[in-house]
Chain A
Amino acid sequence: MNLENIVKALNLRVVSGEEKLTAEVLGGYVGDLLSDVMANSKEGDLWITRQIHQNIVAVASLKDHAGIILIQGCKPAADTLDKARKEGVPIMVTDMPGFEVIGRVYNMIATKKGPDPSP
């Protein structure tokens, strides 16, 4: 399962790190507390959050996350976007609420399902 499969299936908008969409997604982590994410998330995780501050880029890059999904219409701050582009950290945004995003990502990763067949 790579990031691109998830981006397509959930119709996420990619705002940075387009070049890393082929990265393998090994799991997921959900959290808005940075110390919790630092301690408990794993390499290759897709991090789902509503934090938009630039520190999310440092956390995702230190933990080697596959990428970050910002839920419920949260938009990255300008300096977050700059930093994410510079460091090649994929940030995806969506208007979907967290519950739905997490459920769908979980299903895709748990079942290793490919992209939804196009109509």
Chain B
Amino acid sequence: MAAWKGLTTNVLSHETAIYENSFPVEGGTYENAGHVSSQIKALLKRMKISKEVVRRAALVTYESEINICSYARSGKIVLRVTPEHVTIEAIDEGQGIVDIELAMQEGYSTATDRIREMGFGAGMGLCNIKNFSDFFRITSEIGKGTHLKMVIRIDKDFDGI
């Protein structure tokens, strides 16, 4: 199953990456939750990418990272930066999502009480990711895992959502 937003991003593969790296995310624990997002935010800041783009990249990374911590066994965040785009992929091994359309609905959550007590489980994460990306695609295979791809355009004139 899949859902997406925005145009096809085939063009991206022709752009030369100025940075590319993969960051492991541990599933089933919040002990290091947010760590990859902080790292990526600092990296993008150092690359002198506009505040607005950094802010959006940090948000989509954070929500993806938390979902891996909450719902998957293990996963990784892959960051790729070209002069035109920031691409973030969140790839996990886990239960997968049975009904993507439902999962994408604001307010839908399967979070346990333990997760909710910590302030997660509003059912907003995937909507936020979609809203803050220029391109977004989610695919999932039950029993195997979930793959998110987010692209944010580096537009010097972009003045925010």
Contacts and interface: CB of A to CB of B under 8 A. Distances in A.
Given A35-B125, A39-B128, A55-B33, A62 B59 contact: yes
B131 A39 contact: yes
Interface of B: 30, 33-35, 37-38, 41, 51, 55, 58-59, 62-63, 66, 118-120, 122-125, 128, 131-132
Nearest to A56: B119
Given A33-B124, A54-B30, A55-B33, A39 B119 contact: no
A38 interface: yes
SS class of chain B's interface: helix, strand, loop or mixed?
Answer: helix
Contacts of A34: 66, 118-120, 122
A73 to B, nearest CB: 17
Interface of A: 32-36, 38-39, 43, 49, 51, 53-59, 61-63
A38 B34 contact: no
Nearest to B37: A62
SS class of chain A's interface: helix, strand, loop or mixed?
Answer: helix
B41 A62 contact: yes
9 contacts: A33-B124, A34-B120, A35-B128, A36-B124, A49-B119, A55-B66, A58-B62, A62-B34, A62-B37
Contacts of A51: 118-119
Given A58-B33, A58-B62, A62-B58, A35 B122 contact: yes
A35 B34 contact: no
Contacts of B30: 53-55
Contact of B62 (A38, A43, A49): A38
A34 B33 CA distance: 13
Q: Which A-B residue pairs are the 9 nearest by beta carbons? A: A58-B34, A35-B124, A33-B122, A34-B119, A53-B118, A51-B119, A39-B128, A35-B122, A62-B58
Contacts of B66: 34, 55
